[in-house]
Structure 1
Amino acid sequence: MNIRVHFHRLRIIFKDLHSHCNLHLLQNTRLAVGDRREKPAMGRRPARCYRQIKNKPYPKSRYCRGVPDPKIRIYDVGMKKKGVDEFPFCVHLVSWEKENVSSEALEAARIACNKYMAKFAGKDAFHLRVRVHPFHVLRINKMLSCAGADRLQTGMRGAFGKPQGTCARVAIGQVLLSVRCKDSNSHHAQEALRRAKFKFPGRQKIIVSRKWGFTKFSRADYVRWKQENRIMPDGVNAKLLGCHGRLANRQPGRAFLDAVSST
């Protein structure tokens, strides 16, 4: 009889301990889930999820608010105020894919190119320009991914999400980066763009421009028109003085000249 009473008491004690442990474990789980809801420590979704261009452009507007600022804030690096005659050589990094390029990738490429040029060519010996801007807004439908999330949160798949970041919609043959410098630093500029190429997804090509700097004139035409006094510098670009306009504003020898190259 005494053994049965003792066994019954032990059974009640173990049952109470088991229920107490389950309650304590449930409270800790709820606290952990609550912390995850308040402080989402998840990493950024990989850019490969947004690489393909599928939908229409979705820019920031009064209907699309709360868009985070893009990572890239500077688009011209180096001696951006140098005249058009200072840097005749120009090389481009051209995209060979139709894809989305995130603002983080543009910033990483700008930093890599700028660091190499500043180290080997000099910080005052080049002008780097980022030619694309991240205007397209990316969305994400945030959902809990922890253990037991299906019991805490259930939502429709593929729902219209909230803005997460920005990217640039790039076409085949579109210029991503451009560097102008002197002819003596041409190999440094090409190597800098080769290193910046690894920051982008897809394929890119490095193409040496036939133009003079960032202008639209070929190097042969620019030199010839410069000798004929028909080119007027305009910052990093240049203006061609043609045969249009008032004769009273023309200088001697500049009227009735062909504005189109004969070559």
Structure 2
Amino acid sequence: QSKIVHLTMGNPNGNFKYETRLIALEDAQIRHNALEAARMATNKFLEEKLGGKEYFLKILVYPHHVLREHKIMTGAGADRLSEGMRRAFGRPAGLAARVKKGQNIMILRTAENGLSFAKEALTRGASKMPIPTRIDVITL
């Protein structure tokens, strides 16, 4: 079950002039708890600086991919209990979103007065990501 609580935050009907994008620079799998941490850090900063109606934040990737972990037994007598690598499918350990190089991870729309805050917010969100990212600003 994914830890991501909301995929869209802020004011979806606002008339915003700028869009800032968090873009992946490598192919990777981003775990659901990393996405949630980035969402929380970004949203908290924007709520403090701009308030709830002055921005629109959307997470564009969703963690569909199930990560599995095959736990190996250790200790005395483990060889008699263990099946080794036979039927080594593993137990579900978490979820991840698969992203490609150049794919948008988050978009953030703001007016001109919130542009510097938008860049700072996405920088804080990017610090929670397991991959290098880039921030682009586009005029709508």
Shift of 1:149: 6.4
Which structure has more relative contact order (CA 8 Å, sep 6+)? It is 2
Residue equivalent to 1:92: 21
Residue 76, structure 1, aligned to residue 8, structure 2: yes
Q: 1:138 aligns with which of 45, 49, 67?
A: 67
Q: Which amino acid aligns with 1:72?
A: I
Residue equivalent to 2:85: 157
Question: CA offsets, 1:75-104, max 9 Å, x none?
Answer: 001112x24xx2111100000010101111
Correspondence 1:151-230 to 2 at 5 A: 153-157=81-85, 159-210=88-139, 212=140
Q: Percent of aligned positions with the same letter in both sequences?
A: 32
For structure 2, list consecutive stretches of 5 or more residues without a partner in the other structure: none
Shift of 1:166: 1.1
Name the CA distance, whole Å, in 1 between partners of 2:44 and 2:50: 10
Flag the structure with larger Rg.
1
Name the CA distance, whole Å, in 2 between partners of 1:175 and 1:149: 50
Question: Which portions of structure 1, spanning 4 or more consecutive aligned residues, are displaced by more than 6 angstroms?
Answer: none
Shift of 1:154: 2.1
Change (3 A) 1:142 1:151: same
Q: Secondary structure at the match of 1:195?
A: helix
Q: Which amino acid aligns with 2:84?
A: M
Q: Which amino acid aligns with 1:113?
A: T
For structure 1, list consecutive stretches of 5 or more residues without a partner in the other structure: 1-68, 213-263
Alignment size in residue pairs: 139
Residue 129, structure 1, aligned to residue 61, structure 2: no
Change (3 A) 1:143 1:181: same
Q: Secondary structure at the match of 1:106?
A: helix
- 1 or 2, which has the higher strand percentage? 2
- 1 or 2, which has the higher helix percentage? 1
TM-score (normalizing by structure 1):
0.50
Correspondence 1:102-117 to 2 at 5 A: 102-117=31-46
Q: Report the aligned-residue RMSD.
A: 1.7
Say whether the 8 Å CA contact 1:143–1:153 is kept in structure 2.
no
